[in-house]
């Protein structure tokens, strides 16, 4: 370590400790009176995200209908999640498109996910109305590849968890105290534009995004 660097670090260590001041009370400013779900729907559908409303009791049936509409022969899912357990129970009584469990290390799943999967389904932490974005927090059970690699991403959203703004989401999810290590904000299917401004979908991720919105 250089003498100059050592001197700087030594001065920082010896500096008097000052208490951190309390933050003033603050709440996000409401920019519109449009209901959060309607604002989210308007912005998400503007970028070709599809929204299908359902109830908690009809979730499995709605997933079947989406898979049939998109002609998906299989579905990548997380068996240890609430959605995964609901799918296992529903498919046990009425089999549908093949369920492919993401229950092995990525080294064993990579070829299957990249080459053989038509659709992947994940939960969400909520959504942001101001930007029309989903909040997806990958976990050990639901790795980020489930939402990024399959051509069709099905995301399950509880409409009661739609926040007006990113700032409100940060405050209510506690990110201001413990920020997430790996979160995704998804605004529609994957898209990019060439030098002429022609928009292309599915270049860097899913070509289609279907949001199943649970309204009860």
The confidence score (pLDDT) of residue 29 equals: 67
Nearest to 208 by CA among 115, 120, 110, 116: 120
3-class DSSP state of 177: coil
How far, in Å, are 89, 117, 138, 182 from residue 76 at the CA level? Answer: 16, 7, 14, 21
Residue-range domain boundaries for the chain:
51-214
| Residue in the block written with tokens 């309607």 | 38
DSSP 104: S
How far, in Å, are 127, 173, 211 from residue 30 at the CA level? Answer: 16, 18, 25
Q: What percent of the chain is modeled with pLDDT above 70? A: 98
Sign of the CA dihedral with 199 first, then 201, 203, and 209 last: positive
More confident residue, 6 or 86: 86
Q: Does the structural domain 51-214 have CATH classification 3.40.50? A: yes
pLDDT category at 201 given cuts 50, 70, 90 is confident
131 has pLDDT over 90: yes
End-to-end CA distance of the chain: give it in Å, rounded.
Answer: 61
The confidence score (pLDDT) of residue 3 equals: 83
CA–CA gap between residue 172 and residue 194 (Å, rounded): 38
How do residues 136-148 score in pLDDT, each as one tens digit?
A: 999 999 999 999 9
How do residues 101-124 score in pLDDT, each as one tens digit?
A: 999 999 999 999 999 999 999 999
**Residues 126, 135: contact at Cβ < 8 Å?**
yes
Please state at what angle helix 82-93 crosses helix 59-69, rounded to 10 degrees.
Answer: 80
Backbone angles phi, psi at 128, to 5 degrees: -120, 115
Helices (H), the chain: 3-14, 36-46, 59-69, 82-93, 106-116, 145-148, 166-172
How do residues 157-186 score in pLDDT, each as one tens digit?
A: 999 999 999 989 998 998 878 877 788 999
How do residues 42-54 score in pLDDT, each as one tens digit?
A: 999 999 999 999 9
203 has pLDDT over 70: yes
How do residues 20-48 score in pLDDT, each as one tens digit?
A: 777 777 776 667 789 999 999 999 999 99
1 has pLDDT over 70: no
């Amino acid at each position: 370590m250089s003498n100059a660097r050592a001197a700087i670090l030594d001065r920082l260590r010896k500096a008097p400790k000052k208490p951190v001041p309390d933050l003033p009370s603050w709440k996000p400013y409401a920019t519109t009176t449009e209901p959060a779900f309607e604002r989210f729907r308007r912005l998400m559908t503007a970028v070709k995200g599809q929204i299908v409303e359902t109830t908690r009791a009809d979730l499995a049936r709605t997933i079947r209908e989406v898979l049939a509409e998109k002609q998906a022969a299989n579905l990548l899912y997380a068996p240890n999640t609430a959605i995964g357990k609901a799918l296992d129970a529903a498919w046990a009584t009425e089999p549908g498109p093949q369920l492919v469990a993401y229950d092995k290390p990525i080294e064993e799943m990579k070829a299957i996910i990249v080459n053989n999967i038509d659709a992947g389904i994940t939960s969400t932490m909520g959504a942001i109305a101001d930007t029309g974005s989903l909040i997806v927090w990958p976990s050990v059970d639901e790795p980020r590849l489930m939402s990024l690699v399959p051509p069709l991403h099905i995301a399950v959203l509880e409409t009661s968890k739609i926040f007006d703004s990113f700032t409100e989401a940060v405050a209510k999810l506690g990110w201001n105290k413990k920020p997430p290590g790996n979160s995704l904000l998804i605004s529609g299917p994957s898209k990019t534009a060439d030098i002429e401004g022609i928009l292309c979908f599915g270049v860097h991720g899913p070509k289609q995004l279907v949001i199943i919105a649970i309204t009860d």
